[in-house]
Chain A
Amino acid sequence: MDTRLGHTQARRATLSLLVALWIVAGVNSCSTDRDPSSLFGPLETGRLVVDGLLVVGAHLPEIRLTRTGAPDRDYNATAHGVSGAQVVVRQTGGATYTYAESMPGRYRIISTHIVGSGREYTLEVITAQGERLTASTTTPPPLFVTEWVLLENDGTTVRQTLRRFAELGDMVFQAPENQLRYPQGLLEARFNRPDVLGFQLGLRGLDKNSPLVVPADFLSPEDRASLPRSVSSPIFEAEDGKARLPWFAVYYAGRHVYRVLALDLNTFDLIRSLPEQGGSAIAFGGNAGGDFQRPIFHIEGGIGLFGSAAIDSVGFNVLQP
């Protein structure tokens, strides 16, 4: 009897110990904290980054020249600007344009040259340290949006046709046709599709203090405050020559510019391969998992963009619901 009692007590003691150990383990949890630096790969800091987008029908753009920074540090492009470089753009079979540094990492040219369509431009950069970066772009055909229309929600009936910058200049924002009440109708750009690989849409809010129009009580105040005033889309094919602006791109009331960009190969490849652009329709995108991969740059001796686009745009004003 005593022996059995002893066994029972021993079993209870063992069980109690196991339960206590489990509670301690559970409360503290099994740590999987790790050295944050182990989340980053072999560093590629100090690589040359170029940024220049030629727009058909516009003057030659500013060229920005920077270097990559550490992946675990906040990045400031100005602080990583590359000074003292020779920056040259050549039009194949045409003139050579030599840029001058306007501020650290930014190079400009004063020229009356207008970027033409279907032409090849080559960039050459030689840094003060002797590094050489080259890239070429062939500009796309011009893009002309024939109609900017607001459709009924059925997606077919035209409610109103918006006025163009070419007609009214900045007065388009006051034109009655260009007043859009959130979230009524569907804004669509209609164009004769140029022969390009793809398009991008951009929406830029011009008023910095206009109020939110989205009903978003399910978002935290911080998330609501971080809703952007300007957004860009992933790549579109727009096979039917139409580009419809989704209302989820519009968060604020006020003046907006809606741009449609017809892209050259370099810009098309960069945008479609940037993880931050959100991936394709059936992939989630983002800087995680299989979607986090190196973009396609088409640049020798560095990374970044030297590309071109043809752009058309419209201005409108978003009214409160």
Chain B
Amino acid sequence: MIRSITQQKPMAEIIGHCEGASKVFIVGCGTCTTLTRTGGQPEVVKMADRLREANKEVTGWMVLPVACDELTSEALEENRDAIAGADTLLIMTCAFGVQTIAMHIDKPVVPALDTLFIGKEKAPGLFGEICVQCGECVLADTGGICPVAGCHKGMVNGPCGGTNKGKCEIDSNKDCVWTLIYEKLEKLGRLDRMRAYQPPKNYHVEPRPGRIIIPFDARSEDDGTKL
């Protein structure tokens, strides 16, 4: 399952964003930030203690099941009074969750976390970036391993000169993705794909901010809602 990978901001920055707010309500997320130990229940409880140490009153806290889900507005209702009593909401979810909560609550929201990348847990406690949503998928030529996300330089036509015994020149703890691709293609008997030339990428497949409208006819269970 894809995950939004986060890390906590420095405490001084969090306190700085809460300046002028004496009462704070904290929101965590039971999905990605619980997995990354940045916004699950233990982290939310610890944050409440640290805010109290900084002379803030914590009016309450909750860990939403899935902060970016549309049911978030209903879940927040359960803590309506504690939220109403707060000057600011401190959000320990990824940026998707922060924005979802901001849509439903007319109170200042402060993100406690920085959202780093969209990835997955490759091994217990190890999170890696899998896809950067570049808009032009090259996986057919690369053995199903993405060089755009997996290479520091995003090289799509083979490795740079920095590949070193299968590791990356930037970080010897990281695998050189082109070595992985080479080995996979060799295993598949498709080394000829190493020669496939990837033309210059189109950086405007879907200009930001991305917005896609599914054609009316293609909506199998259209509810008539206008997009």
On whether the two chains bind one another, the answer is no
User: Residues of A at under 8 Å CB distance from B?
Assistant: none
User: Residues of B at under 8 Å CB distance from A?
Assistant: none
